[in-house]
A and B are shown apart, each in its own frame.
Chain A
Amino acid sequence: MYPNDYYYSQDHEWIKVEDGQIGVVGITDFAQKQLGDVVYVELPEVGTQLEFHQTLGVVESVKAVSDIYSPVSGEVVEVNQALNDNPELINEDPHGQGWIVKIKIKDESELQKLMSATEYEKYIEGIEE
């Protein structure tokens, strides 16, 4: 369920590192299930500078509004425009086509603050109980 080569945050974002410095960011399957049907995504502008844990956008389901926090510091280099017309991609494929932004990672050591897939699975088990 949770890919082994991704990192996970306590706020239920994931980040996958591509080409060294670029991190693809999305929300986890757990998060999308909690939210329910996603109907709107507010994306940041390309070029936005993000601090670790800064709000980078908003995901809204019919019922709830949820901030998306940046799992690392860096610059937004690409946003997933497909979400404007198809926000449900976040429900259908949260760890793939439902990605939200790509960030040029400023400090790779920040990744060490995040969880591995195994750690994250344990973490959400604790929440579900």
Chain B
Amino acid sequence: MKQTRLYPLHKKLKARMIEFAGWEMPVEYTGIVEEHLAVRTKAGLFDVSHMGEILITGPEALNFVQFLTPNNAAKLFPGKAQYSALTTEKGTFVDDLLVYCLDEGKYLLVVNAANTDKDYQWVLSHQGNFQVTVENQSDLVTQLALQGPLAEEILQPIVEKIDLSQLKPFTFSWGTIKGEEVLVSRTGYTGEDGFEIYTYSEKPALIWEVILEQGESKGLLPVGLGARDTLRLEACLMLYGNDIDETTTVLEAGLGWIVKFKKGDFLGKEVLLRQKEEGVRRKLVGFELLERGIPRPHYPVYIDGQEVSQVTSGTFSPYLKKSIGLTYLPVEYTQVGTVFEVGIRGKRVKAQVVPTPFYKRARE
């Protein structure tokens, strides 16, 4: 199993470790519920160095990114990031990702750990005549996420050369923390304000430790993958392999906003355009259980007694104190208020389609 450069610190903090996508990662430190609530009300620090980074450089880097992804990368400028996907010819997901425009002709794709090798091969195999260089930098990069309403207050005193108050959502800037060079971006996977911090530093432990130290008196906690999952689900952010994969299209997942048909050609455009015109047959919906129980991935979903799909993500929401989940339903059953059933250990439990996201932070 692979370990991140921060592994010794997780052991020191007595984190419970699990295998995730070939990595030995912390799943919880003090408890999923406590960590989850810390992020919602104060702040949490995550080691997400397992995420993959693929660098695309060259005179045709933009054209290549435009071809690989459905969102309009031409809107990016140095210091700007966007949520997008790698799509198949069928309009389904190879992966979902963030595209960072590091510079003109220099784009960084931040991809899911479980897909890093697949994505890298995918990108290489579609390079064709594009004049670009593709580099898998995943092993060089440490990525931390500092998330929560107090993230800016904690980070600003220790980061040099960046005025965080000027850093808008989905923008980033270069600075230093403890003398180590970092890229700080106002992005995240929790539904809270916060930052993702990337570094090539050989001593990323310095960065982790100074953030924890700085945040200690403010209620900052280290947070594991357990709470990362419950946080992202409350915010209705997709998890690859659960909610989206190579069998689900971008439109079915409700991510039509990352598909820009007018930008030119891209993988999957034809299918997605047809699907947009004809309408999707099924759609991802959020639901709450109306009775006791906790929905889990792969539990069967029934409409009028017929099994129609499975739960893709489900949990007990630590913040909302409800059982919530996601599933694909035939489009005629996707209206808010529609009642259906989830099979939990042989019993049928009533569920209802609700608006998503389940949780949305109050903005100033």
Report whether over half of chain A's contact residues are helix, strand or loop; otherwise say mixed.
strand
Q: Are B31 and A39 in contact (CB under 8 A)?
A: no
Which residues of chain B are near A44, meaning CB under 8 Å?
A: none
Q: How far is the CB of B227 from chain A (nearest CB, A)?
A: 8
Q: A60-B316, A62-B318, A63-B32 are in contact. Are A40 and B230 (CB under 8 A)?
A: no
Q: Are B226 and A58 in contact (CB under 8 A)?
A: no
Q: A36-B226, A58-B345, A60-B316 are in contact. Are A65 and B296 (CB under 8 A)?
A: yes
Which residues of chain B are near A58, meaning CB under 8 Å?
A: 345
A118 to B117, CA, bound (A): 49
A42 to B315, CA, bound (A): 15
Whether B280 is near chain A, meaning CB under 8 Å from some CB there, is: no
Whether A49 is near chain B, meaning CB under 8 Å from some CB there, is: no
A39 to B33, CA, bound (A): 9
A-B contact pairs, 22 of them (CB 8 A): A36-B28, A36-B32, A36-B226, A37-B33, A37-B34, A37-B318, A39-B33, A39-B294, A39-B318, A40-B292, A40-B293, A40-B323, A42-B345, A60-B316, A61-B32, A62-B36, A63-B28, A63-B32, A63-B226, A65-B294, A65-B296, A84-B292
**Chain A 26-47: CB-based contact to B (< 8 A → 1; otherwise 0):** 0000000000110110100000
Q: Are A37 and B31 in contact (CB under 8 A)?
A: yes
Q: How far is the CB of B55 from chain A (nearest CB, A)?
A: 34
Which residues of chain B are near A40, meaning CB under 8 Å?
A: 292-294, 316, 323
Query: In this complex, what residue of B is CB-closest to A61?
Result: B32
Q: A36-B28, A36-B31, A37-B33 are in contact. Are A62 and B293 (CB under 8 A)?
A: no
Query: In this complex, what residue of A is CB-closest to B225?
Result: A63
Q: Are B292 and A62 in contact (CB under 8 A)?
A: no
A61 to B323, CA, bound (A): 12
Q: Are A63 and B345 in contact (CB under 8 A)?
A: no
Q: How far is the CB of B350 from chain A (nearest CB, A)?
A: 16
Which residues of chain A are near B31, meaning CB under 8 Å?
A: 36-37
Query: In this complex, what residue of B is CB-closest to A41?
Result: B292
Report whether over half of chain B's contact residues are helix, strand or loop; otherwise say mixed.
mixed
Q: How far is the CB of A129 from chain B (nearest CB, A)?
A: 15
Query: In this complex, what residue of A is CB-closest to B27?
Result: A63
Q: How far is the CB of B237 from chain A (nearest CB, A)?
A: 17
A61 to B16, CA, bound (A): 15
Which residues of chain B are near A60, meaning CB under 8 Å?
A: 294, 316
Q: How far is the CB of A32 from chain B (nearest CB, A)?
A: 11
Q: Are B345 and A62 in contact (CB under 8 A)?
A: no
Q: How far is the CB of B24 from chain A (nearest CB, A)?
A: 17
A37 to B315, CA, bound (A): 13
Which residues of chain B are near A39, meaning CB under 8 Å?
A: 33, 294, 316, 318
Within 8 A of B (CB), among A6-44: 36-37, 39-40, 42
Q: How far is the CB of A104 from chain B (nearest CB, A)?
A: 25
Most chain B CB atoms below 10 A, which of A39, A61, A63, A65: A63
Known: A37-B318, A61-B32, A63-B32. 15 other contacts (CB 8 A): A36-B16, A39-B294, A40-B316, A40-B323, A42-B293, A58-B345, A60-B316, A62-B32, A62-B33, A62-B230, A62-B316, A62-B318, A63-B28, A63-B226, A84-B292
Within 8 A of A (CB), among B21-64: 27-28, 31-34, 36
Query: In this complex, what residue of B is CB-closest to A91?
Result: B31
A65 to B316, CA, bound (A): 12
A65 to B298, CA, bound (A): 13
Q: How far is the CB of B46 from chain A (nearest CB, A)?
A: 16
A60 to B323, CA, bound (A): 12
Q: Which 10 A-B pairs have the closest CB atoms?
A: A39-B316, A37-B33, A62-B32, A63-B226, A40-B294, A60-B294, A37-B31, A37-B32, A36-B32, A62-B316
